Amino acid sequence: MAERNILAYFNTVEQAEVIANRIKDLGITDVQIDRIHKFSEGTADHLMNPLTGQIGSLADLTLGSGGGDAGPLMAADTSASGMSDGGGTAASGQDILLAAIVDESQFEQLRQEIRAQDGLI
């Protein structure tokens, strides 16, 4: 029995859950939905006061600390500076990823259902 990987991108979690439930109805239990981030999730969980001047960097203030290596790239991004709308997101706004392994005989039908949910496969 041949298997196929599905990596499908969606705009909302709800769209991905429709397909995940459809895949589970076919008897496949190993389905995962995740959000894709442009940068690693920040660690801006500590309290900062920009008025005190104790700011590590622009990226630290706006996006959370990404560490020394990623900081300059994060600060150069429009998400940190606000100097542009950014021209869209990294994946055309489709930052929800559904991943599953399905039987090859089910792949084409699921591909059509993913497209019906405005998903990108």
Question: 118 to each of 8, 85, 100, 103, how far by Cα in Å?
Answer: 10, 24, 18, 22
Element (H, E) at 76: helix 67-76
Phi and psi based region of residue 75 (left: phi greater than 0; alpha: psi -120 to 50; beta: remaining): alpha
pLDDT at 91: 45
Model pTM score: 0.62
79 and 100 together in one domain: no
pLDDT at 95 over 80: yes
The mean pLDDT of 85-97, rounded to a whole number, is 65
User: Percent of the chain scored above 70 by pLDDT?
Assistant: 57
For residue 120, the 8-state DSSP code is B
- The structural domain count of the chain equals 2
pLDDT tens-place string over residues 53-81: 666 666 666 666 656 677 677 777 776 66
In a domain, 65, yes or no: yes
**What's the mean pLDDT when you consider all of the chain?**
78
In a domain, 1, yes or no: yes
In a domain, 19, yes or no: yes
The mean pLDDT of 68-97, rounded to a whole number, is 67
7 and 19 together in one domain: yes
Residue 96, domain extent: 1-36+90-121
